[in-house]
Each structure stands twice: as structure tokens, then as C-alpha cells.
Amino acid sequence: MEELRRERGMTKLMLADFSGLQDSYIRSIAKGRKRPSIIVLYSLAEAFGIEPVDFLARIEKTRKRLIEEAVAKKCGSGWREDKVV
């Protein structure tokens, strides 16, 4: 969400306004303290101007990248999920 927000040139306050959510809730999602419902995900996708399915795909891609980076940092830089048997 944060990567997409920055790409769109939006502040957290702008995202909150466009999505109809409270800015404190947006900050909590960004910090990983809150897990948004499917309704909230749809509101966020609409605020970003993309289809919900594309938003969810983007979230999944980012999640996988972050996991790979964390594991690579812990296990060495040559690790990738697709190399695991």
C-alpha cells in the first residue's frame, strides 16, 4: 500500500480522504498494526484508481518480495523462493 501511495504522490491524509477512512487507520495499516477487511481493501483500491483484483495482486507481489528479502538477509543473498524444492 505504501509503495503505491508514494507512486501516486499521495500523503496518508490524502489516501484517508479519498478512501473515506480515518488517517489514523491508514497509518495503523501501513505500520502493520491493523489488518484491513475486504471492504477496506476495496475502498483503498478505489482511492488508488485501480481494480481491487489488481490491488490485491500488487499486495501479494510486495508480500512475496518482502519475505524473499528477509530470508535472503538471514540465509544469504543467493536465496529465492523459486529455488526451494
For 23-51, how does the pLDDT look when each residue is reduced to its tens digit (9 = 90+)?
A: 999 999 999 899 999 999 999 999 999 99
Residue ranges of domains in the chain, CATH in brackets: 2-83 (1.10.260.40)
Q: Is this structure's pTM higher than 0.85? A: no
Angle of CA points 40, 41, 42, to nearest 5°: 90
- Whether 85 has a pLDDT exceeding 50, the answer reads no
